[in-house]
């Protein structure tokens, strides 16, 4: 797991762009008042809640795991080092 002061790599921006949404449209769909949190999620400065991750996966038509593919691979190596 990356240190707390490091950004967490993700593919949120990529999935949003693939679907053709703006941050403003996503914020509205999620019931958020501004785009600032969307921006922070995409930069890896903050993590979406479980509920918002599920909403994003539905909105972007992808699996939650796809958002954090690289992090998931690193964590799998830590959990299952011999595989």
Q: pLDDT per residue over 22-81, tens digit each?
A: 999 999 999 999 999 999 999 999 999 999 999 999 999 999 999 999 999 999 999 999
Q: Are 14 and 25 in contact (CB under 8 A)?
A: no
* pTM of the predicted structure, to 2 decimals: 0.85
Q: Are 17 and 26 in contact (CB under 8 A)?
A: no
Q: What pLDDT is recorded for position 1?
A: 47
Domain assignments of the chain as residue spans, ordered by start: 12-79
| Domain 12-79 class, CATH top level | mainly alpha
Q: What pLDDT is recorded for position 42?
A: 97
How wide is the angle at C-alpha 8 spanned by C-alphas 17 and 51, nearest 5°? 70
**Residue 17 confidence (pLDDT) above 70:** yes
**Residue 6 confidence (pLDDT) above 90:** no
């Amino acid at each position: 797991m990356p240190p707390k002061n490091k950004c967490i790599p993700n593919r949120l921006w990529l999935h949003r762009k693939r679907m053709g949404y703006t941050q403003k449209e996503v914020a509205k769909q999620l019931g958020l008042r501004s785009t600032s949190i969307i921006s922070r999620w995409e930069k890896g400065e903050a993590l979406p809640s479980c509920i918002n991750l599920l909403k994003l996966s539905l909105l972007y038509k992808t699996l939650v795991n796809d958002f954090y593919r690289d992090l998931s691979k690193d964590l799998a190596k830590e959990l299952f080092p011999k595989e």
